[in-house]
Structure 1
Amino acid sequence: MSTLHAVLRMHQIGIVNLLRPDRLIKAAGNNAKIGPQAALTEKAATEFPDLPALTDERGTWTYLQFFQRSNALAHALRKVRLPEKSIIGVLARDHRGLALAITGTARAGLRLAMLNTGLAASQLAEVIKRENVRFLMYDSEFADAVDALPDDIPRYLTWEDDGYDRPPGLLSVEEFTAAEPTTIPQPIPEKPGGFIILTSGTTGLPKGAPRTKVSPLASAVIADRIDFPRQGTAVIASPLFHATGFGAWTVGLSLANHAVLLRRLGAEQILAAIAEHRAHMLVAVPTMLNRILALGPDVIAKYDTSSLKTVFLAGSALPPDVCVRFQDVFGDVLYNVYGSTEVAVASVAQPHELRKSPGTVGRPPVTVQVALFDGEDKRITAADTKGRVFVRTGIPFEGYTDGQHKQIIDGFMATGDQGHFDADGLLYIDGREDDMIISGGENVYPLEVENLLAERADVMDAAVIGVDDPDFGTRLRAFIVPTEDSARDPQEIREFVRANLARYKVPRDVVFVDDLPRNPTGKLVRRELPTGPL
């Protein structure tokens, strides 16, 4: 019944047309063999060849142009004699080169590893070795890290910055594919190559999460509770190499949408892109909202963002105060998405739910179930009772490439988060299990303190960690990115927390910093915050 419901939702949204079974059957067959991104690009090129598929700083490709270039890359890749089970790697920011790598490798039946642009050189080398990457496409800005890789890995440029001193013999992807046919599709492979998305790596080296086959229902899971445009425009300010941007872009392909890709992210640049392209949707991480609001009313007013109907947010926690302030300025447009690389979308809070309960992550979409379990693996059903968050979804997870696995109970997979449901059935995330701090025998989840600090007008960003303490075992240390007019008074911060939360949640250390360590998907990397003596 849930599958039928998902198919009907896909028809209602416009992802599939049940009145054209011929097209549906062909698309389903292609999806099974070359994956959704390549299959949907071909479908849109057939039905809407002249519609814009993507725009970056070098211009716009129509769906026909995008499809043709994907064909050329597929032909070129098939001519490269790679060892069996080799994987293609791509290290690129959001632009045409990354989109082309995704669709071209799929058409060639090869597996693609989408590498995180935030990896250090040593991490990149370790991931390349672990994932068996034997062919690499990359942006020139990452040349120093790539130079440390083994010489026997063929490599090509996906993007060349102005002024880059290109080594002799290094070709761009355009040059690599120049002699290949664009109008003759590569024969569809018998088996899909699939792809690997890396986890955020906030607690160590990112793990590889492979997807060989993607359920046709995946688009329904993402789009069920989110207002996607149809043949409209979305500004994607979340990396395509991560699940949020990747999933939103894929659904957009199914609706023949125009993706505006931003290689460099800036708050004002995002507003300018929305205004220029009359974008219906923005895909972003929560930290970007604070940066947009920090521009101030005069700068925000310079850009006509009245076309904006949907802000698709995921990747990190959305502070309740930021949620309220953003919707007060831009209208009720926020969709707060909770999920992970492993389980995809677990729940979505719609604008009216965020108005009523700022900070909630809402309810599960079609085919998804969320459950809470206690420390003894017993299910929690009472409202306002914290437990470990588990998700059961119709999009199966294949396990990490390093052999590790998440705990599974009755088909529900652990997310690693603590959360609770309220009396109305709305889900809230209280923090990561591994972020919990025990101070003086009391359990503290940093997210609660961080959300409170975010309510202050003089706080741009905040993080809370535990550090060793001779008396309490662990004490709280708060790192705060202040506004320009902040008094930067640690005692005032402590008194503010004491007035709103329990005594044991007051940070004894308050440190003012220029910025917090966040990865490209907006998640806080707590391990990079200093824990030693101040």
Structure 2
Amino acid sequence: MPGALKKVTDNLGAARVILRAGLVPIPRADRGIYSILSVDRYGPFAGVVHAHARNGLDAVAVVDERGQLTYAELEELSNALVRAWVADGVTPGSVMGAMCRNHRGLVLAMLAAAKAGTKLVLMNTGFAPPQLMDVAAREQVRAFVYDEEFQEVADALPADVRRYLSWGEDPSGRVRALDELVLDRPTDTVPRPPTHGSFVLLTSGTTGTPKGAPRERTSALSAAQFLDRIPLRNGQTMVMAAPAFHGTGLSQVGVALALGQTVVMQRNFDPEAALSLVAENRADTLVVVPTMLQRIVDLGAETVAKYDTSNLKVIFAAGSALSPDLCTRTTEAFGHVLYNLYGSTEVAVATVATPAELAEAPGTAGRAPVTCHVELYDDAGTRITKPGRIGRIFVSSGLSFNGYTDGHDKERINGLLCTGDVGHFDEHGLLFVDGRDDDMIVSGGENVYPLEVENLLVARPDVLEAAVIGVEDTEFGHRLKAYVVTAAGAPRDEQDLKAYVKTHLARYKVPREVVFLEELPRNATGKLMRRVLIEMDSPYT
């Protein structure tokens, strides 16, 4: 299909999805027009809040441990914050940074940055001082918003950059809190900025210093990618357990606000507390990363049954691989409500698996939603169409980035962006992600993708987590080494685990060594830090 025709077809499909989901108020055409104008004025994130407030939406927008904020209150507070920042020298086009947990302060910072026309770099809450300094210097951050708990990390920045507390108080009085900044400021509508504000998301940093991936080409139509395959609708309630600084959390906060939903924010993840929030708020949606979901189902059926989750229609999981075993256990615990989104910081959305697809093929990444296109290519750049054949995954999406903030880019073929993963389609057109391209282990001339072995191991009831790496070997080039976290009280039998893999997979996929750990190294978004395991094995560390 020619590019121009494909774009028209994508936009028409997205418009149908948006109308079906109720994102455009029908039959109130006046409100719909005002919403469009508001998005044009402030961008999609802040524009929808402004439109809801002006259209008189009488609803709670955000709930956190401090209480509730309505859409009108969000609008007024963010307007006041814009004026405070402008008075403090923050100008359109400047770069700000934020290092915050899930709470109203982060949402207000996002809204105010958009209305002020600034670029907001969303920092990982797991950063140590050196990482924060490196990223802040590279992105040229001139003002920084952070939670009180990150004071020691923030102290690595120059005093004139470390300006605002989003949560808590500075005993020295040198850093002003957002609550203080907005006092006695006008709350009426702020002028349209000369340029839209934007976000910079950071890659996971599992293989090195996190890269900056700008989100500048967003539009209201991008919400269709989620609404096409996931039944998010107007007026629902969403519990946000996933970190909002990450693409998963940010995208779903944005979609929820666009739909006039109530977003219940969990500042620090706790599995049982997440269930309690779902029950207390009669939540329709729970947003998690897979490690969070794993911890919830590991609570056991008796604990899960203590909480009324009967209103839950969607468990939205994204951010890393979802094992077949976790898919099955989630369905057993909550019914057919699990949606598995596959994407990346760079490409945004690639595919979504529905509950029906996960029941048919646990672990699948599903199919591409409207406006998204997924293709597989071999190392020579030839497209792969045969079911079952593994290839490198390439994606085109209306949200795909134009390149990293340092000027580098990922590989592109025919307008599609490389995800860095490899996968295959089955005979029904469902996508399966087999692992990272650079994680592949060549052992004795055979290609092994760790994810296959890891998924097999975690399917055992006595194994909670597993990670497999390649270790240099003089005979085979590399041999497999597994790191395993066992369930409480389970025996740690290396030979039993090896024999189990041998009965299910080819001999060359059997780990030569099994090391038992109390926990696997993961970053703040739950992604496995495979690099740490490799460094643990290195004779030079």
TM-score range, shorter chain: over 0.9
Distance 1:515 1:396, change over 3 A: closer
Paired position in structure 2 for 1:372: 376
Aligned equivalent of 1:175, options 180, 188, 199: 180
Query: Is 1:7 aligned to 2:11, yes or no?
Result: no
Q: 2:80 matched to 1:75?
A: no
Q: Residues 347-496 of structure 1 correspond to what in structure 2 (within 5 A)?
A: 347-496=351-500
CA distance in 2, matches of 1:166, 1:429: 49
Q: Distance in 2 between matches of 1:89 and 1:35?
A: 19
Cα deviation 1:313-332 (Å, max 9, x = unaligned): 10000000110111012100
> Per the alignment, in what secondary structure is the counterpart of residue 209 of structure 2?
coil
Q: Secondary structure at the match of 1:321?
A: helix
| Structure 1 counterpart of 2:508, from 486, 504, 518 | 504
Distance 1:110 1:436 in 2: 40
Amino acid at match of 1:386: I
Q: Distance in 1 between matches of 2:248 and 2:91?
A: 31
The Cα offsets for residues 283-336 of structure 1, whole Å up to 9 and x where unpaired, read as: 001112221121122211111111111001100000001101110121000000
Aligned-partner SS, 1:217: helix
Structure 1 equivalent of residue 67 of structure 2 = 59
How many residues are matched? 530
2:92 touches 2:116 (CA, 8 Å); kept in 1?
no
Equivalent position SS for 2:368:
coil
The 8 Å contact of residues 133 and 157 in structure 2, kept in 1 or not, is answered as yes
Q: Tell me how far apart the structure 2 counterparts of residues 475 and 396 of structure 1 sit (CA, whole Å).
A: 36
User: Which residue in the other structure is 1:128 paired with?
Assistant: 136
Deviation at 1:165, TM superposition (A): 6.3
**Equivalent position SS for 1:28:** helix
2:6 aligns with none
Q: Residue 253 of structure 1 aligns with which residue?
A: 257
User: What is the aligned partner in structure 2 of residue 523 from structure 1?
Assistant: 527
Is the Cα contact below 8 Å between 1:40 and 1:254 reproduced in 2?
yes
Unaligned runs of 5+ in 2: 1-8
SS of the counterpart of 2:142?
strand
Q: 1:73·1:105 contact (CA, 8 Å) conserved in 2?
A: no
Match of 2:344 in 1: 340
Q: What is the DSSP-based 3-state SS (H/G/I as helix, E as strand, rest coil) of the residue aligned with 2:136?
A: helix
The DSSP-based 3-state class of the residue aligned with 1:133 is coil
CA deviations over 1:368-417 (Å, ceiling 9, x no partner): 11000011001111111110000112234121001110111111111101
Instruction: Give 1:170's aligned amino acid.
Output: V
The residue correspondences of 1:128-277 to structure 2 (distance < 5 A) are 128-160=136-168, 166-182=171-187, 184-277=188-281
Per the alignment, in what secondary structure is the counterpart of residue 203 of structure 1?
coil
Q: Distance in 1 between matches of 2:386 and 2:33?
A: 44
**Aligned pair in 2 of structure 1 residues 129, 290: CA closer, same or farther (>3 Å)?**
same
- Distance in 2 (CA, whole Å) between partners of 1:85 and 1:31 is 18
Cα contact 1:48–1:256 (8 A) shared by 2? no
Alpha-carbon distance in 2 for matches of 1:418, 1:443: 12
Which has the larger displacement, 122-131 or 24-33? 24-33
Name the residue aligned to 2:517: 513
Indicate conservation of the 8 Å contact 1:196/1:209, yes or no.
yes
* 237 and 300 in structure 1: CA distance in 2 versus 1, 3 angstrom threshold: same
TM-score between the two structures when normalised by the length of structure 2: 0.95
Secondary structure of the structure 1 residue equivalent to 2:112? helix
Structure 1 residue 157: deviation in Å? 0.7
* One-letter amino acid matched to 1:326: T
8 A Cα contact 1:372 1:381, kept in partner: yes
CA-based RMSD: 1.5
Q: Distance in 1 between matches of 2:304 and 2:67?
A: 25
- Is there any run of 5+ residues in structure 1 with no aligned partner, and where? none
Q: TM-score, normalised on structure 1?
A: 0.97
Q: Residue 187 of structure 1: SS of its match in structure 2? A: coil
1:313 to 300, 314, 317: 317
Q: Bigger CA drift: 82-91 or 218-227?
A: 82-91
**Cα 1:19–1:396, aligned 2, differ >3 Å: closer, same or farther?**
farther
Following TM superposition, by how much is the alpha carbon of 1:494 offset from its aligned partner in structure 2, in angstroms?
0.6
Matched-pair contact (CA < 8 Å) for 2:242–2:287: yes
Aligned residue identity for 2:538: G
- Given that residues 33 and 190 in structure 1 are in contact (C-alpha distance below 8 angstroms), is that contact kept between their aligned partners in structure 2? no
- State, as a whole percentage, how many aligned pairs show the same letter: 49
- Residue 280 of structure 2 aligns to a residue whose secondary structure is helix
Q: Supply the distance in 2 between the matched residues of 1:143 and 1:112 (Cα, whole angstroms).
A: 19
Of stretches 186-195 and 93-102 in structure 1, the one that deviates more from structure 2 is 186-195
- Code of the residue aligned with 2:339 in structure 1: it is Y
- Paired with 1:21 and 1:324, the residues of 2 have a C-alpha distance of 44
Secondary structure at 2:263 match in 1: strand
The structural deviation recorded for 1:439 is: 1.4
- Please report how far the alpha carbon of residue 82 of structure 1 lies from its aligned counterpart in structure 2 after TM superposition: 4.4
Q: 2:538 is matched with which residue?
A: 532
* Contact preservation (8 Å) 2:275, 2:309: yes
* 2-structure distance, mates of 1:48, 1:307: 27
Matched to 1:171, the amino acid is R
CA distance in 2, matches of 1:410, 1:18: 38
Instruction: Give distance in 1, aligned partners of 2:395 and 2:493.
Output: 42
SS in 1 for 2:176: coil
Q: What are the residue-to-residue correspondences of 1:98-109 with 2, within 5 Å? A: 98-109=106-117
